[in-house]
Amino acid sequence: MKIILASGSPRRKELLTMMGLNFETKTSQKEEKLDPQLSIKEQCKQLAYQKARDVLDQIPEKEDCFIIGSDTMVVKAETIYGKPKSKEDAFSMINQLQGASHEVYTSLCVIVRKQGKEKQYITLDTTKVHLKEMSNQEIEMWLAKKEWKDKAGAYAIQGFFSVFISKIEGNFYSVMGLPIHQLYEIMKQEKLM
């Protein structure tokens, strides 16, 4: 069965490779739209589903496949910190997140199509991340590394930014971009592991 990652994220590719999977990637072209009627957690799950569904719709109907969609949201006090639009935006995000804790929600949607039948799995993993207090100079030093680009909350847990993380409560790999422990369980159920 063809395994397809519905994402162009280098981090998600790295995690699937780490799992030893033979997979291909297809990026969803669907515009990500948040539904304010839903809770933040439900919005996160909905985005993962939209990505997986969009990629599934690009695959010929007779082809068996295992599509993996995911989304990551950094949330503090009901505010979603998405991907920064500029260096100033990134500075503002890190300044608001530093010296406190926040949640990282990572959703997983797997759509399995086998012999014309579809099955869906949708999960969400929550991790609490505690950041040290950071001076403006430290934030500027971080931004100068340019690792903040294309990252929810303007940081990556696996990069240099890890020096500012005092503790995490939950799964490291979920914060990195994919709850691989949940994916593994789904793959076991589908007899792919």
Tell me which residues are annotated as active site. Answer: 71
Q: Which residue in the block uniquely carries the two structure tokens 């957690």?
A: 41
- Kindly give, in sequence order, each residue whose CB lies less than 8 Å from that of residue 28, ignoring residues fewer than 6 positions away: 6, 7, 50, 51, 52, 54, 55, 69
- 72 φ/ψ angles, rounded to the nearest 5 degrees: -125, 130
Asked whether the beta carbons of 9 and 69 are under 8 A apart, the reply is no
Q: Hey, CA dihedral for 166, 105, 108, 14, is it positive or negative?
A: negative
| Residue bearing tokens 């086998």 | 114
